[in-house]
Structure 1
Amino acid sequence: MTPGPVEVDPRVLRVMATPVLGQFDPEFTDMMNRVMEMLREMFCTRNQWAYPIDGTSRSGLEAVLCSLIEPGDKVLVPIYGRFGHLLTEIAQRSGAEVHTMEVPWGEVFDEEEIIREMDRVRPKIVAIVHGETSTGCMQPLTRIGQACREREMLLVVDAVATLGGTPVDTDGWMLDAVIGGTQKCLSVPAGMAPITYNERAERIIQARKSVERGLAGNLSEPSERRIRSNYFDLGMLQDYWSPKRLNHHTEATSMLYALHEGLRIILYEGLAERFERHRVNERALVAGLQAMGLSLFGNPDCKLSVVTCVNIPEGINGDAVRELLLQQFGIEIASSFGPLHGKIWRIGTMGFSCRKKNVLHVLAGLEAVLIRVGAKVHRGEALQAALDVYEIPS
C-alpha cells in the first residue's frame, strides 16, 4: 500500500512466464502495434507516437527531456515536491538553462501563476509533475497547455503516478509530451515507461535527427544539436517502433508481455469505471483515517486521489509504526522525503492494490499498531466509517 511499486496483477505475472519471442518475430511486432494502440487510449490521445521506453519511469523522463532540450534552451519547472527537483536535474544535465518556481509542499500552483512566469521567462519547455507522490497533491493542467500553444512553448508532463488511476487527457489538455510509469496505477512491474508526444515535439526530434544525418556517420564530429544519448534518442526509437523496425536495442520482451496484459486489463475494466474505483477506495480510506482521529497532510482541494498523506501523531515514531505494520500485518506503507521525512506517512491506493479488502486491512492494522505504541486513537471507528462509504449507493 505504498505510492509505488504496488502489487502486480496476478494475470500480469502469469504472462511474464510465457516463452520469449524474437523482437522481430511477426507475433511480437503485432504485440508492439497493439501496445501502441492501447497506450493511445490510456493517454487519451490521437498521437502517432505512444510507446514504452525500456527502463523505469525515470528512463521515460530522461528520454523525452534529453531528446527535446538543446544546450542553452530555457526550461521552466514549477516545483511542488520531490519530483519537480528531479525534472530540474534532468533538464540541467541536458544543458538547459533552468528556471524554477516553488510553492510549499502540500500545495500546488494556480495555473495563472505559472502562465505569468511563462511570460516572464519565455521558456522553450515547461516541465511539470501531474501527481506528486511525495506530497499527495495533484497539479491542475487544464489551462497551461493552451497557454503554451499560444506562446509556441512545449508542455512536458510527468504523469508517472497518475496514468491509469485518474484522468490524463493528453489531447484535451493540449499536453505535448507525457511520461507514465508501469509500477504504479498500471500494476505492472517496474521496468518500462510509457510515453506519448505530438507533432510539435516530433518536429524538434526530427530536426535534431537531421543534424545527425548531416554528420555522415562521423559520431566524433561535434554538434551541439545532436541528441547526446544513444539509448534515449527518441528519433532512433521512432524508427524502431515504426513499420521500418530499424534495430535500435534488444526489446525487453517479457516486460512488453506484462505491459500488454496490464493495458488489456485496464481497458477491459474501462477507464471511467477504473477511475471511479480509485475514487471510492480513496474516500473510504480517508473516512477511516479521519474517524480514527488522524489528520491528513496537504491542501484537500488539490489532493491526489491515488495517494493519501497522513500526519504522524506527535510523539509517535513513524518508522517504528511502519515496521510493526509490516512485521505483524504484512502491510507496507511509505514515509516521505526531504522536509516531510518523519512527519507523514504515505498510503497508496493504486491499480490492483486499490481494493476494498486492502483498504479495510490497512485501517485495521494501522489502528492496532497505533494502539500498541501508545497513540490515542478512536478505537473501532475507522472500519465503520470506511464501511459507511462502501455502503453508499453508486
Structure 2
Amino acid sequence: MNLYSELSPSPRTIMTPGPVEVDPRVLRAMSYPILGQFDPEFTALMNDTMAMLRSVFRTENEWAFPIDGTSRSGIEAVLVSLIEPGDKVLVPIFGRFGYLLQEIAERCGAAVVVLEKSWGEVYDPEEVIAAILREKPDLVAIVHGETSTGRIQPLEAIGKACRELDVLVVVDAVATIGGVPLEVDAWCLDAVIGGTQKCLSVPSGMAPITYNDRAERKIARRKSIERGLRQSGGDSSNDARQISPIRSNYLDLSQLQDYWSPRRLNHHTEMTSMLYALREGLRIVLAEGMETRFARHRLQETALVAGLQAMGLSLYGDARCKLTVVTCVRIPPGVDGESVRSMLLELFGIEIASSFGPLKGEIWRIGTMGYSCSRKNVLHLLGALEAVLVRHGVHIQTGAGVQAAMDIYCS
C-alpha cells in the first residue's frame, strides 16, 4: 500500500525577497525531454544561455555562464577562484549578506578588512574609495542589493576607482539582476554573481556569473601554477608555490571555463532541466525589454509603498537608497509580526518575509520581484494585510491602502 499522497503543493502568492513565483513558461520549459550534455542541440542551448546572460548583465565579457548550485555557489566559485591565501580583501558591510562575503573570503585564507555601516543605510562611494586608498586591498567584495535591509549600494564610482587602482571588484548582484539597472561593463565591475530565484523568476538552483579578462588572468595564473605543481610532483621548493592553486574542484572557474568553452572538456553533468529554465527565464526578460522591466518593478513598488503608507504603516531605512524590489515595513508596536505572517499565509495564501539579526521581529520584508511583481499581487497583498492588521487590533483606515495603490495604477 502506498503510504504517500500525490505531490500537490498549495498555490501561493509569494511576496518575499526570494524565492518568488516562477513564470509558468519557465515551469513548462523544465518539463521538456532531457538531452545529453554533449548533444549538439544541448550545447547550442548552452551557447544561447551565455549570449543572453551577456545581454542581461550588460557586458561584452567572454565568460558569462551559470554555476550549478544556489546563489551561494556562484559567490563561492568566484571568491575561491580569485582569492589566494594572504590576499587582502576589503568588504564593506551594510547588511546580512556582507557578512557572508566576509566569511567566505576568510575561509579562502584572505586577510579581510571590513567596513560596517548601520543597517538601513549604504555607503557614500567616497567612503569606500577612501578605504581602498588606505588599505590597498587586492580585491573588494560588495553587495549590490541587500535584501536583509532593502537597500541598494551605488557601485559605478567604486568600480571605476578599483579599475584605476588595479584592484579587483566582485559584486553580489543576486537580488538585482533582471529587476534593477546593473551595468557590468559601464561600472567597471570585474566579477558579478546573480541569482535565479529572485527577479529572474526561475527556481533556485543556478547562479549566473560573469567576469572579465582582468579576473580571468588571475584565474589562469593560478591554473598554470596548479599544473606546474602536478608536473613537479608537488615539490614544495618550487617557487610557484608562492601563488596558491585553486582549492576547490567543483567551484574551480578555470575548469568550468573549459566546460563552457567550445572545447567542452567534461567537468560535471550539467543540470539539464535547470538550464532549460534559466534559458527561458532570460528569454522572457529580454523579450519584455530591460527598461520596460525596470519600469514595471518601479511601478509596483510605487503602488505598494503608497498603499502601505496610506494604511499608516512606516517604512524602514533610508529612502534615498531604497531597493526597488524589496520594501521593508516596520511592524506596528505591540503586534506579533509572526502571527500576522501566519494569518496571511493560512487565510490568504500570501507569504511575506521576516528579517534577520538586529531586525528580527522589527520589520516585514515584502518583495516585488520578477513574475511576482504584478498589480494583482500588490492589490491582493494590501487588501489582505489590511484585514489581518484589523484582526490584530491595529487601528487603520480600512480600504485606504488599496485605494491609494489604485490611485497610482489609474493615474
TM-score higher than 0.5: yes
The answer as to 2:118 corresponding to 1:99 is: no
Q: How far did residue 218 of structure 1 move?
A: 7.5
Q: How far is the alpha carbon of 1:120 from its aligned partner?
A: 0.8
Q: Residue by residue, what CA displacement relative to the aligned partner does 1:35-75 show, whole Å, maximum 9, x if unpaired?
A: 00000000000000000000000000000000000000000
Distance change >3 Å, CA 376–CA 219, structure 1 → 2 = farther
TM-score (norm 2): 0.94
Does residue 21 (structure 1) correspond to residue 35 (structure 2)? The answer is: yes
Q: How far did residue 215 of structure 1 move?
A: 2.2
- Aligned-partner Cα distance in 1 for 2:200–2:233: 38
Q: Distance in 2 between matches of 1:216 and 1:370?
A: 65
Q: C-alpha deviations, 1:103-150, integer Å up to 9, x for none? A: 110000000000000011100001000000000000001200110011
1:303 aligns with 2:303: no
Partner in structure 1 of residue 302 of structure 2: 283
Alpha-carbon distance in 2 for matches of 1:91, 1:215: 24
1:262 aligned residue: 281
Other-structure match for 1:326: 345
Return the letter of the residue paired with 1:209.
Answer: K
1:134 aligns with 148
Q: Which residue of 2 aligns with 1:383?
A: 402
* 1:217–1:240 CA distance, 2 compared to 1 (3 A): farther
Matched AA of 2:92: P
Name the SS for the 1:215 alignment partner: helix
Q: For residue 257 of structure 2, what is the aligned residue in structure 1?
A: 238
- Which residue of structure 2 aligns with residue 160 of structure 1? 174
Look up the match of 1:60: 74
Q: Distance in 1 between matches of 2:319 and 2:205?
A: 32
Q: 1:257, 1:221 → 2: CA distance?
A: 44
d(CA) in 1 for partners of 2:72 and 2:388? 34
Structural RMSD (CA)? 1.0
Write the distance in 2 (CA, Å) between the matches of 1:219 and 1:253: 37
SS at match of 2:350: coil
Q: 2:209 aligns with which of 189, 195, 207?
A: 195
Q: Which moved more, 1:130-139 or 1:383-392?
A: 383-392
Task: Count how many residue pairs are aligned between Structure 1 and Structure 2.
Answer: 392
State the shift of 1:179 in Å.
0.2
**How do residues 80-95 of structure 1 correspond to structure 2 at under 5 angstroms?**
80-95=94-109
Q: Give the match for residue 77 of structure 1.
A: 91
Partner Cα distance (1:268, 1:119) in 2: 42
| Alpha carbons of structure 1 residues 111 and 193: separation in structure 2 relative to 1, 3 Å | same
Distance (Å, rounded) in 2 between the aligned partners of 1:314 and 1:195? 42
**More displaced 10-residue stretch of structure 1: 225-234 or 211-220:** 211-220
What letter corresponds to residue 346 of structure 1 in structure 2?
Answer: R
- State the Cα deviation string for residues 335-371 of structure 1 (Å, max 9, x = none): 0000000000000000000000000000001110000
Unaligned runs of 5+ residues in structure 2 are 1-14
Q: Percent identity?
A: 68
1:342 aligns with 2:361: yes
- In structure 2, how many angstroms separate the alpha carbons of the residues matched to 1:376 and 1:252? 50
Q: CA deviation at 1:317?
A: 0.3
Which secondary structure does the structure 2 equivalent of 1:301 belong to? helix
- Code of the residue aligned with 2:56 in structure 1: it is M
Residue of structure 1 equivalent to 2:135: 121
Q: Deviation per CA, 1:304-344: give whole Å up to 9, x if none.
A: 00000000000000000000000000000000000000000
* Cα distance between partner residues in 1 of 2:79 and 2:293: 30
CA distance in structure 2 between the aligned counterparts of 1:389 and 1:199, rounded to whole angstroms? 45
Structure 1 residue 377 displacement after superposition: 1.4
Q: In the alignment, residue 158 of structure 1 is paired with which amino acid?
A: D
1:216 counterpart SS class: helix
Question: Alpha-carbon deviation of 1:391?
Answer: 1.4
Instruction: Say whether 1:208 aligns with 2:222.
Output: yes
CA 1:96–1:366: 2 relative to 1, 3 Å: same
| SS of corresponding position for 2:230 | coil
In structure 1, C-alpha distance between the alignment counterparts of 2:270 and 2:188, rounded to whole Å: 30
Shift of 1:219: 8.0
Pick closer, same or farther for the CA change 1:219–1:252 going to 2, 3 Å: farther
Query: What letter matches 1:296 in structure 2?
Result: L
> Residue 271 of structure 2 corresponds to which residue in structure 1?
252
Q: Give 3-state SS (helix, strand or coil) of 1:210's partner.
A: helix
Amino acid at match of 2:190: D
